Structure 1
Amino acid sequence: MENNKKRKNWIFALLTAVLLLSMFISLWLGSAELSVGDIFKGLFSDGDSRISIIIRYVRLPRMLAALLAGVGLSVSGALLQGVTDNGLASPNIIGVNSGAGFMTILTLSIFPGAVFALPFSAFCGAFAATLLILWTANRIGTSKVTIILAGMALTAILNAGISFLSLLDTDVVAAYNAFSIGGLSGVTTRALWIPAVLIFLSLGAALLLSRQISVLCLGDSLASSLGIRVKRLRMICLICSSASAAAVVSFAGLLGFVGLIVPHMARRITGGSMPKVLVSSALCGASIVMLADALGRTLFAPTEIPVGIVMAAIGAPFFLILLFRRRGHA
């Protein structure tokens, strides 16, 4: 017992160290070459030098955005996989991404010049999709299968709407494609305050409910017999998951695969206990997105690869491996 506790502490200490290293790398790497001393000078010295501008107004906001995106999507995915008992569940499956995408292309179609309004409209679309899933689940039941099937049906409908609007107005396709790829270029700290509050409120609520979610993973009947209100718990978890993912969509676009692959990594590192999975998912997700963004900035500098493309290159092979393993266990 004592050895397991020490091992757990060492694992979380290591994940925290990796997170801090990833934050440093995110500030350090980029198209403009900076030394280690330049980073500290840019962060802590006064003045409007070139180094200070690069660090404070370009790389620091981007590092914070990558951190929030990693935490938000990873926690969202971990919650969904926990309450649905489905290892392939992720925010895009329940319609959050499609809702954001549909509202984005609708906004561009009606107001072609309103690019500044895309983050807000994307958040509204994602949250509207969440409300629709909640309404559907409340009407026909909140079972594990119902939530996934309702999300898949909503995703199909919204994707059809996106395709239809693209055919009607081809001028908006380029702007929508840039949003749908997922990227952090041009993000500002001002745009991160509200998403940060939503993400960490969702994480806090998930941690408070994590022990109940662990019991729910063992089956609805057992959870009900222990006094857990299964329907209400699933609803709350779905709200937290969707709010967290919608917050990320508002500043990072449709960033894929993070909510799918990171919870699996977290479970392999720390075990299946929900409190451990949530914390380790947040730490791992933040590190992975920051490193992926740094890689995209430097691999073909000064040309930048959006972090969404880097994550797709990493996540797609992982997804295939996951499918083959599930087939082997079937």
Structure 2
Amino acid sequence: MPKTIFSFIAITLLLLATIVYSMTTGSISVGFVELMKGLLGSPSEQVEVVRDLRLPRIIVALLTGAALAVSGVLLQAVMRNPLADAGVIGISSGAGLVSLLLVTIFPALFFWMPLFSFVGGAIACLLVYSLSWRSGLSPLRLILVGVAINATFTGLGQSFNYRGSYAVTSVNQAISSIFTMKTWDDVHMLALYGGVGLLLSMLLGSWCNTLVLQDRTAQNLGLSVMKVRLLVSVVAVLLASVATAIGGLIVFVGLLVPHIARLLIGSDHKVLLPFSAIGGAWLILTADTLGRTLLAPTEIPASIVMTVIGGPFLIFLLRRSERVHGH
């Protein structure tokens, strides 16, 4: 318990420090005292720029990271597989493809893009689950099927870039992983849909703890396994899809954060879910801040930073899984 409390305090302080650093650093540098005065009622021109451009970007990065990390925890509970991640197994790319298609055809429905993304993510999740199932879910088979579906949806989405349509180009930028032009409208949309998903996920801790057990054991404990698995999957897909629609296509967050969280605080989902939300928020904000400041004024998308970090980590987890299963 002391280790858990210490871990929560440490990640929260780290998150707050990163938020302050991200707000005060960039092409326009603002001191912390000046920033606080400006936000609390004595605005200067520099603080106005930070509030209108940098602050929405920071909030979108925080909510995107939290949603992707919690989605990863839920998917891993449903599939009983520590390698499940919305970005790796194609849920995010499916969400991006369907939202791109529908908003291109019906631009007036842009506000409903998170719901279109949810439909795409649900289709991808169903495909991965059904094609991977063979008297159980093999971790390696799940990854292979997910990577194949991810590649298919990503290729279909990228093919739209060559149509030369302005609508397609603008929508593609909207689901890209560069947070540069995010506005308060994006914040409101992500807070609405993502906030609902995050609140629901925090109520699912006990069910997730039971889902980790074998189906027969869970049923003996009075749990309706298929109904619970479906409900948890819906919340996981909602979170991943909304994060993709607003924050862009970012992989490995739902893989990295839950794994490290389990090492720090254990596997109790009642604690794991909120901790992963904080950890995911910090990770994406850090990736975006690094991408924004390392080679300024050039920006590196957060997705590229995460791919560089997450690729080797996935290889490590696959090798570890093989050793555990004796292959």
TM value normalised by structure 1? 0.84
The verdict on how the C-alpha distance between 1:214 and 1:311 changes in structure 2, with shifts beyond 3 A counting, is: same
Partner of 2:123: 132
| Residue-by-residue CA offset, 1:68-116 (whole Å, 9 max, x unaligned) | 01110000011001111111111135543222332355358658xx5x9
Change (3 A) 1:235 1:104: closer
Residues paired across the two proteins, number: 319
- Counterpart for residue 62 of structure 1: 57
**Structure 2 counterpart SS, 1:218:** coil
* Structure 2 partner of 1:298: 293
Amino acid at match of 1:25: Y
**Deviation string for 1:187-237 (max 9, x for gaps)?**
112222232233232222222221121121021111100001100111111
Q: Given the superposition, is the C-alpha separation of residues 261 and 119 from structure 1 closer, same or farther in structure 2, using an over 3 Å criterion?
A: farther
Question: Do structure 1's residue 226 and structure 2's residue 218 form an aligned pair?
Answer: no
Pairing 1:289–2:278 present: no
Runs of at least 4 residues off by over 4 Å = 107-111, 116-120, 133-138, 140-144, 146-157, 163-167, 170-181
Does the 8 Å CA contact 1:27/1:60 hold for their aligned counterparts? yes
User: 2:117 & 2:281 partners in 1: Cα distance?
Assistant: 21
1:325, distance to aligned residue in structure 2 (A): 1.9
Cα 1:255–1:131 change in 2 (3 A) is closer
Q: Secondary structure at the match of 2:306?
A: helix
Which residue, out of 145, 148, 162, partners 2:137? 145
Q: 1:201 aligns with which of 193, 196, 205?
A: 196
Match of 1:77 among 53, 72, 78: 72
Whichever residue aligns with residue 126 of structure 1, its letter is S
SS of the counterpart of 1:186?
coil
Q: Which one of the candidate residues 226, 240, 247 is aligned to 1:245?
A: 240
Deviation of residue 130 (structure 1)? 4.0
Residues in 1 aligned to 2:122 and 2:83: alpha-carbon distance in whole angstroms = 22
Local SS of the residue matching 2:299: coil
Q: Contact (CA 8 Å) 1:198, 1:247: kept in 2 or not?
A: yes
Q: Percent identity?
A: 32
What residue is the counterpart of 1:24 in the other structure? 20
Summarize deviations over 1:19-74 as a string: whole Å, max 9, x none: 21121122122122222223223322334x32122221112111111110111000
Deviations 1:166-185 (A, max 9, x none): 66x26678667756651211
Which ranges in structure 2 are unaligned for 5 or more consecutive residues?
Answer: none
In structure 2, do the counterparts of structure 1 residues 108 and 68 end up closer, same or farther at CA, with 3 Å as the change threshold? closer
RMSD over aligned Cα atoms: 3.2
The 1:163–1:7 alpha-carbon spacing in structure 2 relative to 1, beyond 3 Å, is closer
Q: Distance in 1 between matches of 2:51 and 2:213?
A: 47
Amino acid across the alignment from 2:97: F
What are structure 1's unaligned runs of at least 5 residues?
none
Q: d(CA) in 2 for partners of 1:180 and 1:201? A: 20
Find out whether 1:96 has 2:91 as its counterpart. Answer: yes
